[in-house]
Structure 1
Amino acid sequence: MIDLVEQIVNDQLEATLVELGQPKFRAKQLREWIVQKRVDSFDEMTNLPKALREKLAESCRIWTTTIAKHTTADDGTEKLLVQLPDGGRIECVLLRDGDRRTICISSQVGCAMGCVFCASGLDGVDRNLTAGEISEQMLRLQMLLPEGERLSHIVVMGMGEPLANVDRLLKALNFATHESGLGISARRITISTVGLPPAIHKLAKLDTRFHLAVSLHAPNDELRTKIVPVNKTIGIEAILEAADHYFEVSGRRLTFEYVLLANLNDRPEHAQQLARLLKGRAALLNVIPYNPVPGLPYETPAVHAQQRFREILENYGITVKFRHRKGDKINAACGQLRRLSKENLVPLEGTTSAG
């Protein structure tokens, strides 16, 4: 079977249709039906000849993925559990905030970075997603919007380390930014990474202009290696050097992410070390009070500990923002996305399911 989204993302659709004996302009029609008009069956493509629709149904498929579960929360957040053709499962999220329609997408099945507090890496990494599988998440989340609404922002903060799958990710993001794709400005797309310097330098060399969010989670290498084990072979200094270079090339203000864990990285001395580390950089520090994950021993810091941490940073002149939780009631908040098997796919109270 020919996978049409994969063909679109890899700019192969026109050549494929010519091989099927069709004129080139059919590629544009197909793309419009799938991307702009958001259909998911060939029968709905009414400006295509019936014979062609039947031929496409026999030799092609729009989706390689299926929706195993669709969960909603009272704050408007929606989460999809996506079934991959080889049996793997990933999650992606639609967040509503005023006029914003932000999606959080995954780049791998699982994650190999080993962040101790994160559900996504509990079972390690299975494989990289293809460019089409990354893009299908975008299109499936777009289909949750009513007619007249469109996606406004993308954050690559779901399952996996995006820069460990950078080539396929960039193909998917090029589709997202292209006028014949989703038409989302690069400045509204954020790639979140634990910090892989070679891949960050590659983004700079390609002049991608996406926002970069570097997940620090600790102000020194000793503590960071405990929280983010992959740091042992990288080190904070190399990450900051690569991030600074990316800022110089792209002009995009950097964001540093810091998940605040009770009695682990939330002490006053940690805030002071972090402030000294970031002082002088044109950066935003995004502090995320820990979102609990069943089975993990970590806790959310008390409100007074969060306030103390923030005050110290602000006294040093650091631009800091504490992220408001969205989707935590349906395990769709930061750090809560995980690989779900059929055995532990249990419906949550007050949710809806599809598929």
Structure 2
Amino acid sequence: MTVNLLDLDLEGLAGYCEELGEKRFRATQLFRWIHQKGASGFDQMTDLARSFREKLATRACIKAMPVISCHESTDGTIKWLFDAGDGNAVEAVFIPEEDRGTLCVSSQAGCAVGCRFCSTGHQGFSRNLTTAEIVSQLWYAEHFLRQRLNTDERIISNVVMMGMGEPLQNYSALVPALRIMLDDHGYGLSRRRVTVSTSGVVPMMDRLSQDCPVALAVSLHAPNDVLRNDLVPLNQKYPLHELLNACSRYLAHAPRDFVTFEYCMLDGVNDRAEHARQLLDLVRRQDHDRGVRCKFNLIPFNPFPASGLVRSSSAAIQEFARILTEAGIVTTIRKTRGDDIDAACGQLAGDVRDRTGAGERMARRRTIMLQAAR
């Protein structure tokens, strides 16, 4: 059986080298060739013994997901569509800024959480991506950009697991991928510059804090359980009280001293002044270890036809931010990037074969809600 070396973190690669009868230190050389130099073939690895390269050529590969398409926004954002096989395609997005280059990475083909405001969730869920498929998005993007800019310097400084899927529902593939990103022999990213975004899978948040604590972002989007049950169905399993307690526990191990709460601004749904005040009460409750140290990232909703939702007005977003800021909560308003190529937050949809019926159930739920509204 051929082993895809993109599936292995450094420890896994060292074990694999031992299985081949090689010294463990060979794994470090191999790891650097793959991730730092972007080698896709063993014949490129000139400082490895020929016998080792020949052995690898018959038993292993470095195989990334094929690229179906690449689109570039007028603001410099780049979106790649990757072929995940069996009718599935997933998306990754590079967002260039003056002081950083951020790659938004997918963890699943589709998503089973089914948040109302997310186009990925409306497609339903097909399958988890492998570690190799998660890592290959970074591997391809980093070396594509280096070649384009004719440089050996690192281009991608930040990775956010905010693409298609719920990362913590693909935990066994996620953690090795994170370790590859963080490893100094790989991409050498700081734990502060790798962010996992979750809709609130509480048990896996606790595990991540022990196994590979990186920066944490939580898709909050509502200040009370009634509203969040509707917007983020996972809340019915892990309500806000449990979620906020998990955030407090995570902060004891996190590389940052705050959790980022993502909040999608939906006109007439969650954007009133009373909602902002409820948020303040929520994050300051004494039963959450004297409150949760946090910042808010307000996200203007990026509409798509199936949602039936509307973006909050600029005035409403600014007023919402003012209430939080004046109460002493660091609050930012996310600048919409790449919306002309459907690469903005909540727009990533790829092409997914729904194997769960989630997309159909969401469509039925939306129809019922529209009928009730009439």
1:315 positional shift: 3.0
Distance, in Å, in 2 between the alignment partners of 1:209 and 1:220 is 27
Is the aligned partner of 1:178 residue 2:147?
no
Which residue pairs with 1:320 in the alignment?
A: 331
Indicate whether 1:278 and 2:283 are aligned. Answer: yes
Gapped regions of structure 2 (runs ≥ 5): 285-290, 354-374
Pairing 1:220–2:231 present? no
Which secondary structure does the structure 2 equivalent of 1:265 belong to?
A: coil
**Is the aligned partner of 1:260 residue 2:265?**
yes
- Does 1:242 find its partner at 2:246? yes
AA at the equivalent of 2:153: E
Equivalent residue, structure 2, for 1:307? 318
For 2:17 and 2:41, how far apart are their aligned partners in 1? Answer: 17
Q: Quick one: distance in 2 between partners of 1:18 and 1:255?
A: 41
C-alpha distance in structure 2 between counterparts of 1:244 and 1:106, whole Å: 26
Q: Residues 178, 10 of structure 1: CA spacing in aligned structure 2 closer, same or farther, 3 A cutoff?
A: closer
Q: Deviations over 1:275-298 (max 9, x none)?
A: 222245321011101012243221
- The runs of 5 or more residues in structure 1 that have no matched partner are 343-355
Name the residue aligned to 1:74.
74
Between the two proteins, the alignment pairs up a number of residues equal to 340
Give the match's secondary structure for 2:90. Answer: strand
**1:345 aligned residue:** none
TM-score, normalised by the number of residues in structure 2: 0.83
Are residues 238 and 19 of structure 1, via their aligned partners in 2, closer, same or farther at CA, if it must alter by over 3 Å? closer
Q: TM-score, normalised by structure 1?
A: 0.88
**Distance (Å, rounded) in 1 between the aligned partners of 2:217 and 2:23:** 43
Aligned residues of 1:64 and 1:85 also touching (Cα < 8 A): no
Partner of residue 116, structure 1: 116
Is the contact between residue 5 and residue 62 of structure 2 (CA under 8 Å) also seen in structure 1?
yes
What pairs with 1:112-151 in structure 2 (closer than 5 Å)? 112-146=112-146, 147-150=151-154, 151=156
Contact 2:257/2:293, CA 8 A, preserved across alignment? no
1:1-355 superposed matches below 5 A: 1-6=2-7, 8-9=8-9, 11-17=11-17, 19-20=19-20, 26-48=26-48, 56-146=56-146, 147-150=151-154, 151-206=156-211, 208-250=212-254, 252-279=257-284, 281-340=292-351
| 2:180 partner letter | F
Cα offsets for 1:222-250 (capped at 9, x unmatched): 11111111211221111001101111343
Residues 50-74 of structure 1 deviation map (CA, whole Å, 9 limit, x = unaligned): 6765664454321141111111112
**1:9 CA drift (Å):** 2.2
Q: CA deviation at 1:326?
A: 1.4
2: distance between equivalents of 1:23 and 1:171? Answer: 22
Q: Do the aligned partners of 1:278 and 1:318 also contact (CA within 8 Å) in 2?
A: no
